[in-house]
């Protein structure tokens, strides 16, 4: 089963789609997402949702005959920032069905391209937070940068050693 992963960089940041993981269930998907998407960049929390439960918003959704169970449920809405870019959580809507959620998302969050929206019921989203695991954060890679070295002390030591060697040779009568 494929699970889409959304990463939140800090507590006040939006969740941004960062790819997917393959896992048999939600718990494994959460663990795999921590390993794959939460260890290299600063991460506050991750959301995982089954790919099959994410609905690409269809602008013709009002023509579909889809009814829910009558009870409105919260749906997370994700908007694509640019063509080919990642989807970012932009808000929530309450709806009884996927078609209703699509229409509510179009009304609330679309500028001109409703095809750039995704909706998914909150009940399908598994969350991993910094309270649950220790995310890796960033690796200090400063050792890779070119460094300047202070060669003066070493040069002074070499010069002193050579002077001592010359003085020792003079005392032994070799020079």
- The answer to whether residue 170 scores a pLDDT higher than 90 is no
In a domain, 104, yes or no: yes
More confident residue, 63 or 139: 139
Q: Is residue 40 situated within a structural domain?
A: yes
Average pLDDT, integer, range 125-138: 82
pLDDT digits (tens, 9 = 90+) for 60-107: 655 444 555 678 999 999 998 787 788 999 999 999 999 899 999 988
More confidently predicted of 159 and 22: 22
For 100, the domain range is 2-139
pLDDT score, position 113: 66
Residue 126 lies in a domain: yes
What is the number of domains present in the chain?
1
Classify residue 144: in a domain, yes or no. no
Which parts of the chain are beta strand (E)?
A: 2-8, 15-22, 45-50, 55-56, 73-80, 87-95, 117-121, 126-129
Q: Is 60 within the bounds of a domain? A: yes
Quote the CA–CA distance of 160 and 52 in Å, as a whole number: 75
What is the per-residue pLDDT for 137? 59
Indicate whether 82 belongs to any domain. yes
Alpha carbon 92 to chain centroid, angstroms? 20
**158 in any annotated domain:** no
Kindly report the average pLDDT of the chain as a whole number.
83
Residue 145 lies in a domain: no
């Amino acid at each position: 089963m494929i699970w889409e992963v959304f990463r939140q960089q800090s507590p006040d940041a939006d969740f941004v789609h960062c790819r997917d993981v393959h896992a048999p269930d939600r718990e494994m998907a959460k663990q795999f997402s921590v390993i794959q998407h939460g260890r290299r960049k600063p991460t506050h929390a991750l959301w995982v949702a089954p790919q099959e439960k994410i609905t690409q918003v269809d602008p013709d959704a009002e023509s579909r005959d889809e009814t829910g169970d009558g009870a409105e449920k919260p749906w997370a809405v994700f908007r694509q920032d640019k063509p080919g870019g990642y989807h970012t959580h932009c808000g929530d809507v309450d709806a009884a069905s996927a078609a209703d959620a699509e229409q509510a998302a179009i009304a609330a969050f679309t500028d001109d391209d409703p095809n750039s929206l995704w909706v998914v019921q909150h009940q399908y989203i598994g969350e991993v937070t910094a309270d649950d695991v220790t995310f890796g954060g960033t690796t200090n890679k400063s050792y890779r940068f070119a460094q300047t070295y202070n060669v003066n002390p070493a040069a002074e030591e070499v010069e002193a050693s050579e002077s001592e060697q010359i003085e020792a040779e003079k005392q032994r009568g070799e020079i």
